[in-house]
Amino acid sequence: MSASRVASHAVDFNPRELVNRAKKRRNFSEKFDSFSDAYVWVLAALVALAYLFSALFGMLFVLLGEGVAHQELPSAVWRMQDLSFVLLALAGLATLRLMLYLGPCGLSAAKADWWLPLPVALRAIRQPSWRNAVLTGLFTSSFAGALWLIVMLGLAGSLPLPVAVLGLACFAVAGVGLANAATAIQGMNQQIAARRICDWMGLGLLIALAMLWMLLMFRIPWSQSLVGALAAATLNPAAWTLAFFVVLAFSGASTYCAYRHFGQIPGQALRSAGEHQQFAMGTLMQGDSRGIAAPAQSAISRRRARGSKLTAKLPVAWRILCLRLLRGGRWHSVAWFLLLVFALAATVQRIANPLSAAAFYLALCVVLTLSISTTIAPLVSEQQLTQLLGISEARLVRAATLYAMLFSAITLLLLTGGLGMLGMISSWIAFGYGWPRAWSPRWGVLRQAVPTPAGKNVTGMHYSGEQPAIRPWPRIFSWKQPLSFGLLPRSRQFSAWC
């Protein structure tokens, strides 16, 4: 009896059925993991949008200076709504650039260590990574579209419902198309060329924007009509319907190309993309961008020769700081911020106001803090440098403090000078406004009252008229002249009697 039972169980055993059951369980586990990841990211995106909604409205309120007098600059020919089309193009380029950085198809370190050394076909491994790439592109583009719609709602005051629905649909379909295009580029191993093309396209867009600004400065009629048509099309449902069909066609073509080439993605590319995705995840979760901002080995070899001769005669601590500033590119964020501030204040209407100037100063403080902290971190946190360099910790900290003060002073001086030239903070500049105005009458009297034996005054210029017998010294050193520093409005100026 027992032997027949064992025989019946042995006959009922089917290895193929066991393999199919394991495959179904694996597929269900992978799908559940993808669903849970998507659920977490969608929930996080909704929470972030809830906070960013009020933050973007407050930013627009500050930039436009609601209720505050602003400067009417002749170079300010743009409206904020006119730049919405440019924001659309930049959002598309940024999404494609992000997809190219992420891979977009990648494997985590654990899966790469387990599956890649095995002599098995990688198609079953590439398919889940492709699905995750498409979902990443979909959510990223949809999030950018939601932010753009919030900005348009703040600028226009109202947003038609068809425009909002069609806009979100266009962004979602465009995200799928861009993710598939990046997958096809990864399969053809052309990521470097694609990144270079994206950079050129962004530069070309900025050049076209600058040329259009010059045309608007000269009041060319067709340029004004073009800008008005583009600004009106962003709130036109018919334009969004046409854009939806164009983006849908692009998404279909890119999906076909991705299907043809995603099987050619090598295992090393999957592993490298997984590392990039891990760095991006750490940046989002922890706010630590050192993984993303870390330069490649080729870039490090090029930067090693930069600044060596310039900093050869500096002390050791200052040379470390200057080389980290130059080679690490830690001044780029500050320079780009200043350039963006000056460009917005000079070319966009209503930006040149005291409220936005205060916001620029606050934002610059944040940018300066991040830049300086990453530059001086080794000198104030790594204790072994004192032994390696033979310098006391107090000297290293002193050098780091002086560097932070000097770099901050130069940056704030540049921002103050630029905003002062634009007339945004002209009443705050004491040395350029109040002191010359206060002392110019005294200097004029002194110049005419103190001649030289050769018939010239102290400035070397000839003076006309008969020399007075009594010099007006009481008038020169009068205690009745108020000294105005120009720090406050005329009605509330601080006056000192000299």
Give the residues of the chain that fall short of pLDDT 50: 1-4, 6-11, 13, 427-498
How confident is the model at residue 412, as a pLDDT? 92
Rg, C-alpha atoms of the chain: 33
How confident is the model at residue 20, as a pLDDT? 61
How confident is the model at residue 297, as a pLDDT? 53
How confident is the model at residue 272, as a pLDDT? 86
- Per-residue pLDDT of 203-235, as tens digits, reads 999 899 989 999 988 888 888 888 888 888 888
Tell me the average pLDDT of the chain.
76
- Per-residue pLDDT of 473-482, as tens digits, reads 444 334 344 4
Query: Which whole-number Å values give the CA distances from 411 to 224, 233, 313, 353, in the listed order?
Result: 36, 40, 24, 20
Q: What is the DSSP letter of 496?
A: E
Q: What is the DSSP letter of 430?
A: I
Q: Pick from 267, 277, 266: which is nearest to 101 by CA?
A: 277
How confident is the model at residue 174, as a pLDDT? 93
**Token pair recorded at residue 337:** 């911020």
Q: Which residues contact 150 (CB under 8 A, 6 or more apart)?
A: 49, 52, 53, 56, 57
Q: Pick from 417, 361, 489: which is nearest to 69 by CA?
A: 489
How confident is the model at residue 291, as a pLDDT? 54
- % of the chain beyond a pLDDT of 70: 72
Burial 293-309 (b: 16+ CB within 10 A, else e): eeeeeeeeeeeeeebee
Q: Which residues contact 439 (CB under 8 A, 6 or more apart)?
A: 483
How confident is the model at residue 316, as a pLDDT? 81
